[in-house]
């Protein structure tokens, strides 16, 4: 099984993961990165989602799919990686993760 690269692709495999007994969905960085970033460490704006993998609606769909199966959601955050002026910002993304 390939690692999903979009929120829609991740949502599409949640049932399979649930059947296998997976308890949590792990996501590497999905905040807005420099274009073409394959790892997400080059965060350009941590208050926005990376448009290359989805938008608020597709992220919400993925999180809701995980929650509907009783699974948790783990995201990889690197607070010291290029947060700059956004370090104290609150966003809809943060509320979605809680």
Which tens digits make up the pLDDT trace of 42-59?
A: 777 778 888 888 999 999
**pTM score of the predicted model:** 0.69
CA 65 to chain centre: 13
CA 43 – CA 84 distance, rounded (Å): 10
> Which residue, among 48, 73, 51, has the nearest Cα to 63 in the 3D structure?
73
Give per-residue pLDDT as tens, 6-36: 999 999 999 999 999 999 988 877 888 777 7
| Beta-strand pair 24-27/43-49 | unpaired
Look at residue 72 in the predicted model and tell me its pLDDT. 92
Look at residue 69 in the predicted model and tell me its pLDDT. 93
CB 28 within 8 A of CB 77: no
- What average pLDDT score do residues 68-80 get? 80
Whole-number average pLDDT of the chain: 77
Question: Has residue 89 got a pLDDT over 60?
Answer: no
Domains and CATH numbers, the chain: 7-97 (3.30.750.90)
Tokens at 46, concatenated: 């941590």
More confident residue, 9 or 76: 9
Phi-psi region at 27: left, alpha or beta (left = phi > 0; alpha = psi -120 to 50)? beta
């Amino acid at each position: 099984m390939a690692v999903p690269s979009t929120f829609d692709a991740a949502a599409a495999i949640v049932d399979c993961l649930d059947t296998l007994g997976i308890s949590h969905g792990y996501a590497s960085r999905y905040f807005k990165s420099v274009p073409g970033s394959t790892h997400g460490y080059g965060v350009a704006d941590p208050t926005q989602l990376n448009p290359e993998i989805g938008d608020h609606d597709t992220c919400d769909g993925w999180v809701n799919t995980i929650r509907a199966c009783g699974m948790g959601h783990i995201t990889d955050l690197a607070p010291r990686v290029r947060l700059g002026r956004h370090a104290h910002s609150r966003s809809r993304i943060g509320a979605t993760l809680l």
